[in-house]
């Protein structure tokens, strides 16, 4: 039985109106797991940076009381999530955190975002100091992932609260409910638990994706040509300085959009063929006069990883680049 969840509920979970609207569009959800899987895809792949920043700004600063202009229900949850950390914190410790918060916002342009639930004041301050050394583009993605953790916790509570209302309504209106306690547990469990035999959710995006961020501008890189290839031949995978025995075969080509994300580089398949893949970026065309004519990144997908998602972002400037496996 799908629960009725409104746009305001999704807004309290995340703080982004675009996220809330897209979750409403994808509703209803028959389980928490399905809802969270959809939420992750919307948050990390569909909404833009403006939506991320709107969600960040909905939070009160760590250690501070919320502004009257902030959504009261959203702020109430934020205060509750931070309550453990600040229940016994000294005035001097709060002052140090305030000073670091100011430095952080001056550098990055948004407040420090961290999933505070269950963390101590000292743990959050250490995390703030450590993340302060990051480059802005890197820190933006870390903050977005922390926001997703917060959203998931709030969605879990939302589904739990809604399930209790559904069960209580069903029990009061039913004239033939012979085992009310068992029914209530069944309803709540159906929303919050994943059966052991449940199949993994189907993919909502191709198994290999990328996006490009221009570190020199602090913005998404638009219009970068991207080419995905797979190694084929008599050798199972290439090695450094390889000779004969195989070739790189084209899988797909695309270009990055206004958010720096490429279009589909391959079909939407459930299981990715194991092997070695190479993703290349035409940096010469995007950054004329830069040091790198192109950037190629090779990575291996093992048999045990064929159902996983591989997100390979590129952080680029005229004279440097960085990559890592994202989510």
Active site residues: 59
C-alpha–C-alpha distance, residues 222 and 296, integer Å: 18
Rounded CA-CA distance 9/165 in Å is 15
Q: What is the CA 173 to chain-centroid distance, rounded? A: 40
3-state secondary structure of 324: coil
CA-based radius of gyration for the chain: 23
Q: Give the pairing type, strands 247-255 and 225-232.
A: antiparallel
211 is in an annotated binding site: yes
User: Is there a binding annotation on residue 311?
Assistant: no
CA-wise closest residue to 34 among 23, 47, 44:
23
Rounded to whole angstroms, how far apart are CA atoms 176 and 173?
A: 9
Residue 154 and residue 252: Cα distance in Å, rounded? 38
Angstrom CA distances, 243 to 136, 239, 247, stand at 40, 9, 10
- Alpha carbon separation from 305 to 211, 238, 276, 301 (Å, rounded): 21, 19, 12, 6
Calculate helix-pair angle for 49-57, 17-26, nearest 10 degrees. Answer: 110
Structure tokens belonging to residue 116: 């505070």
Partners of 105 in beta bridges:
none
Q: Rounded to an integer, what distance in angstroms lies between the CA atom of residue 22 and that of residue 42?
A: 7
Beta strands in 160-210 (DSSP E): 208-209
Report the distance separating Cα 312 and Cα 320, nearest Å: 16
Q: In what order do the strands lie in the sheet with 219-220?
A: 219-220, 212-214, 314-317, 320-323
Residue ranges at the known binding site for substrate? 211, 261, 324
């Amino acid at each position: 039985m799908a629960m009725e969840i409104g746009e305001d509920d999704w807004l309290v979970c995340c703080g982004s109106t675009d996220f809330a609207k897209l979750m409403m569009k994808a509703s209803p959800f028959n389980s928490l797991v399905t809802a969270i899987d959809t939420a992750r895809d919307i948050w990390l792949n569909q909404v833009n940076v403006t939506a991320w920043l709107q969600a960040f700004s909905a939070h009160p600063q760590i250690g501070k009381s919320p502004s009257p202009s902030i959504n009261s229900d959203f702020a109430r949850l934020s205060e509750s999530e931070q309550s453990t950390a600040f229940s016994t914190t000294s005035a001097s410790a709060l002052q140090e955190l305030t000073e670091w918060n100011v430095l952080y916002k001056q550098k990055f342009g948004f407040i420090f975002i961290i999933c505070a639930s269950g963390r101590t004041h000292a743990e959050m301050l250490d995390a703030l100091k450590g993340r302060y050394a990051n480059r802005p583009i890197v820190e933006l993605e870390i903050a977005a992932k922390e926001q997703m953790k917060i959203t998931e916790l709030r969605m879990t509570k939302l589904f739990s609260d809604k399930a209790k209302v559904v069960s209580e309504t069903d029990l009061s209106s039913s004239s033939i409910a012979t085992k009310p306690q068992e029914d209530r547990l069944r309803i709540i469990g159906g929303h919050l638990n994943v059966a052991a035999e449940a199949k993994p959710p189907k993919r909502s995006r191709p198994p290999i994706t990328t996006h490009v961020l221009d570190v020199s501008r602090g913005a998404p890189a638009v219009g970068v040509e991207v080419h995905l290839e797979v190694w084929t031949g008599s050798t199972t995978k290439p090695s450094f300085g390889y000779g004969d025995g195989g070739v790189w075969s084209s899988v797909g080509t695309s270009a990055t959009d206004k958010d720096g994300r490429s279009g589909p580089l391959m079909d939407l398949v459930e299981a990715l063929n194991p092997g070695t893949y190479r993703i290349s970026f035409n940096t010469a065309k995007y950054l004329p006069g830069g040091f790198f004519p192109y950037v190629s990144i090779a990575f291996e997908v093992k048999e045990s990883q064929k159902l996983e998602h591989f997100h390979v972002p590129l952080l680029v400037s005229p004279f440097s680049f960085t990559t890592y496996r994202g989510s």
